Amino acid sequence: MALTGNRGGAGPFPLVEGKAEVAMSKQYECLVPGCQWHTQADDPAEIVRRAADHLRNVHAEGTVRPEMVERIKQRIHEENQPVAG
């Protein structure tokens, strides 16, 4: 499940002096080639949890190894910023 924020200025990001407050959301795209799944959250630990669940449930990874968790952490980035390495 991908979570998205409101881009229109109403809703969860209230307007302050004519500008929308911007949550410093983190984003992650699945590391499996060709998979379009992605997620966002403020907490990197939540992204790691979601990504591990995704790997187990969609890509049949029985065990999410520590090195996979490290790769997930390396690929977490600020929303609208490029993915590192």
Q: What is the pLDDT along the chain (85 residues), one digit of tens a residue?
A: 444 343 333 444 444 444 444 556 999 999 899 999 999 999 999 999 999 999 999 999 999 999 999 999 999 999 876 665 5
Q: 8: which DSSP letter?
A: S
Contact (Cβ atoms closer than 8 angstroms) between residue 67 and residue 79? no
Q: Give the model's pLDDT for residue 85.
A: 56
Question: 56-71 burial, b for 16+ CB within 10 Å, e for fewer?
Answer: eeeeeeeebeeebeee
What are the structural domain ranges in the chain? 19-78
Rounded (to 5) percent helix, strand, coil in the chain: 30, 15, 55
- The pTM for the full model equals 0.67
